[in-house]
């Protein structure tokens, strides 16, 4: 992420804004949700119709990796929307944290520049 060159006060204001955004995120969950359609093993089922097969579904699956371990679980229909919000919040968390780190790097650069110029407060 490129934030350009800012003065120290601008950097500090943006960091404070990001910190407020973090507090407002709500519940989080890593991962992604996919829609699955399956074929069963029953002979004569609609999903095996040779002319117009109709798979069973949709089934919703949450896949994620946490602390190096992958996991997948199916979601009930009533769990899908709340989980989508949690996944979106987690994605936003990652974006905010990445921006915060970039700003901290910029803050350090601005502080070094200020010291070079012999500037105090």
Q: Would you state the pLDDT for residue 78?
A: 97
Which residue bears the tokens 């999903």?
Answer: 47
Q: Would you state the pLDDT for residue 5?
A: 63
Beta-sheet strands, E only, within the chain: 32-38, 56-66, 69-75
- Asked whether residue 2 is assigned to any structural domain, the reply reads no
Model confidence at 27, pLDDT cuts 50, 70, 90, reads: very high
For residues 91 and 115, give the distance between their C-alpha atoms in angstroms, rounded to a whole number. 37
- Asked whether residue 21 is assigned to any structural domain, the reply reads yes
Mean pLDDT of the chain: 90
**Total of domains in the chain:** 1
Contacts of 33 (CB under 8 A, 6+ apart): 60, 61, 62, 75, 80, 83, 84, 87
pLDDT digits (tens, 9 = 90+) for 51-65: 999 999 999 999 999
pLDDT digits (tens, 9 = 90+) for 67-87: 999 999 999 999 999 999 999
- Asked whether residue 109 is assigned to any structural domain, the reply reads yes
Residue-range definition of the domain harbouring residue 84? 8-116
- Asked whether residue 37 is assigned to any structural domain, the reply reads yes
For the cut 80, the answer to whether the pLDDT of residue 4 exceeds it is no
Kindly report whether the global pTM for this prediction surpasses the value 0.85.
Answer: no
- Other CB atoms within 10 A of residue 71 CB: 11
What strands lie across the sheet with 69-75, from one edge to the other?
32-38, 56-66, 69-75
- Asked whether residue 3 is assigned to any structural domain, the reply reads no
- Give mean pLDDT, residues 30-42: 94
- Asked whether residue 1 is assigned to any structural domain, the reply reads no
């Amino acid at each position: 992420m490129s934030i350009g060159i800012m003065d120290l006060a601008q950097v500090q204001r943006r960091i404070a804004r990001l910190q407020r955004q973090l507090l407002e995120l709500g519940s989080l969950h890593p991962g992604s949700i996919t829609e699955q359609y399956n074929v069963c093993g029953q002979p004569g089922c609609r999903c095996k119709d040779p002319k117009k097969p109709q798979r069973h579904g949709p089934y919703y699956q949450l896949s994620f990796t946490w602390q190096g371990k992958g996991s997948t679980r199916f979601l009930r229909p009533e769990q899908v929307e709340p989980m989508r919000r949690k996944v979106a919040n987690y994605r936003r968390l990652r974006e905010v944290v990445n921006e915060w780190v970039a700003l901290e790097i910029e803050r350090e650069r601005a502080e070094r520049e200020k010291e070079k110029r012999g500037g105090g407060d």
